[in-house]
Amino acid sequence: MERDEALAFLKKHLKTKNLLKHTYAVEAVMRGVAEHLDEDGNRWALAGLMHDIDYDQTGDDPSLHSIRGADMLAEAGFDEEIVDAVRVHNDFHGLPRQSKMAKALYAVDPLTGLIVAAALVHPDRTLTALDVDFVMNRYAENSFARGARRDAIAACDELGIEVEEFVGIALESMQEIRGDLGL
């Protein structure tokens, strides 16, 4: 499935503006990580774009989130690796992350939230004003952006990427789409 078709499908199911922005951020970072690892950036980006397709329906019930989304994607004919990455990105289910794509999505998802939170506390309130050091300082503050689980972000080591380099890839990827993110 091409991005335009996937985006139309996503927008039929996910209406919350900030959640859509979140999926754009995850899409961009997944593309950046894929390119860093010499993987298929388009496929990885689709996994990022679609990862929370069910969140408007399941956000209050973590036992359903990602399972329902994976089912929706499978029914729509998405690639099985994308379906699996979406299914296992939610820690609630305790499902193993086998593919590089699944491991990346698990680590990218909370990192995008940390970067957005860092941008919002920066005096300039923009992504372009951020650098890796600023984000790493926020990463080290456990009380900052508590929802951005550091253990999940640190799982980037399963991809052979150190956290600081991972933050750099993510920050650059998000800066490229700052207009879409409103930051």
> Could you give the number of structural domains in the chain?
1
> Interior CA angle at 66 toward 65 and 71, to 5°?
115
Instruction: For residue 85, give the CATH number of its domain.
Output: 1.10.3210.10
Q: Answer whether residue 30 is part of any domain.
A: yes
Six-digit token string for 139: 């990463």
CA dist 31 and 178 (Å) reads 15
* Predicted model pTM: 0.97
pLDDT reported for residue 25? 98
Closest CA to 172 of 137, 141, 128: 128
CA dist 45 and 63 (Å) reads 25
Provide the domain limits for residue 119. 3-91+98-176
pLDDT averaged over 10-residue windows placed end to end, the chain, 183 residues: 95 95 98 98 98 94 94 96 97 94 98 97 95 97 93 97 98 97 94
